Amino acid sequence: MGDLLVVGAGPAGMAAAWRAAQNGLRVCVVDDNPAAGGQIWRGGPPEAQVWFERIRSVDVEMINGARVFEQLRTGTLLAETASGVSELSYKSLVLATGARERFLPFPGWTLPNVMGAGGLQALVKTGLPIEGKRIVVAGSGPLLLAVAAYLCGHAANVLMIAEQAPAMQLARFAVGLFSKRMQAFELKRQLKDVPYRSSCWVSEAHGTEKLEAVTLVRGQKRWQVDCDYLACGFHLVPNVELAELLGCVLERGSVKVDDFQQTTVANVYSAGETTGIGGLELSLVEGEIAGLAAAGRHDAARELFAVRDKQRKFAELLNRTFALRDELKHLPTPQTIVCRCEDVTLERLQRHTSWRAAKLQTRCGMGPCQGRICGGAVEFLFGWRAESVRPPVLPVRIDSLIRK
């Protein structure tokens, strides 16, 4: 048994593990991806090297490709690996499970080659050649800019970026970003030939067996653009399923934490996007605080509060800027699929008044993704939130369950 178990090897998890190990704890990090770094540092980009170096400089056990799916008892989690099931015991726990993209349904969004913005970027990072491909990047959030710049850097033909947020809000955000660091300049340089349209979104994806074109809407204007890929995501939603399983209280869809990143469950901490969408810098400082607090170094943790406060202000600005506009609720037609696992259409959901009723009657949210994709959409469209999480929090092999 280790002292500290960290779930998630993205920036927050790495920061927590580093600080805790530096202060004498025996630390184990478990992550479901084949390699550490999370989504943002997938493939170990140069800017992340300082953190990879820090992790290597301390004694941390890293378990990759393992999915935590259940709590065996207090202080022990179960994770499924390629070869079996591992029991992971701990005295303290840091949940750094990150976030996923929010997807909203519109006609044609289930066609092959319509992907998340981060989804397409992940594919390119892991070997998909993209040179010369015509790509529309759409949805909402700063991720769209980062993804478009990345795709341009890999010689893709990025046709445009469609951001649903209005120009006024974006202007305020740009000021915030500029005062934050020079990152904005760099993005602007990389994207110099790509049109960035505010108050603009995809109303329909066209094609039969795969994507062929999209219809874009901006004010009264509607037009069609032929493309090979649509990279479309509407900002991010925290991954809170494991925290909920452990009984952690949520607040506005994120894990509630105190000043030391401790959740409402004793010895369980949480850091990064899981506690609210705030970006890389906030994730890192929250991770450091959680790691220090778990190691009993509350004095050192307290010294980082000012940095975190500053980053939280930026996060608030971020979330205000990319708030979703109501028009997007009217994109799906009655026949548009909302739950992709069970192919549940909008009209079938409209007959119900709660997530629970819809689930029981239509199987919405009961497929392999367990509502991870349609949940964010259903919350936006109907205001319904899932009421409970039950183990296993991810589909696992039957022998993993029998083993218990």
Partner 1 sequence: MSETVTLAVNGIAVEMPVGSLVSAAILKTGTYAFRRSVTGEPRGPLCGMGICFECRVTIDGEQHCRSCQTVCRNGMDVRTDG
Asked if 395 interacts with partner 1 (CB under 8 A), we say yes
Query: Given candidates 22, 367, 386, 400, which one binds partner 1 under the rule CB under 8 A?
Result: 367
Ranges within 369-388 binding partner 1 (CB under 8 A): 369, 372-373
- Give the pairing of strands 221-226 and 114-115: unpaired
Adjacency order of strands within the sheet including 27-30: 60-63, 27-30, 4-7, 92-95, 268-270
Residue 140 is a binding residue for partner 1 (CB under 8 A): no
How many whole angstroms separate alpha carbon 125 and alpha carbon 218? 31
Phi, psi of 162 (to 5 degrees): -105, 110
| Whole-angstrom distance, CA of residue 100 vs CA of residue 241 | 12
Site string for partner 1, 207-246 (x = CB under 8 A): --xx------------------------------------
Q: How far apart are CA 160 and CA 137, in angstroms?
A: 6
Q: Cβ closer to partner 1: 112 or 195?
A: 112
Q: Does 127 bind partner 1 (CB under 8 A)?
A: yes
Per-residue contact flags (x/-) with partner 1 for residues 152 to 191, judged by CB under 8 A: ----------------------------------------
Question: Among 16, 32, 41, 104, which residue interacts with partner 1 (rule: CB under 8 A)?
Answer: 32
Footprint on residues 48-67 left by partner 1 (CB under 8 A)? 65, 67
Q: Are the CB atoms for 339 and 363 separated by under 8 Å?
A: yes
Compose the 304-343 pattern: x for residues touching partner 1 by CB under 8 A, - for all others: ---------------------------------x--xxxx
Exposed/middle/buried for 71, CB within 10 Å: 0-12, 13-18, 19+?
middle
- Provide the residue type at 147 as one letter: V
How crowded is residue 219: how many other Cβ atoms within 10 Å of its Cβ? Answer: 7
Tell which residue, 291, 339, 282, has the closest CA to residue 311.
Answer: 282
39 binds partner 1 (CB under 8 A): yes
User: Closest distance between partner 1 and the C-beta of residue 291, in Å?
Assistant: 24
User: Interface residues with partner 1 (CB under 8 A)?
Assistant: 32-35, 39, 65, 67, 100-101, 103, 110-116, 118-124, 126-129, 209-210, 337, 340-343, 367-369, 372-373, 395
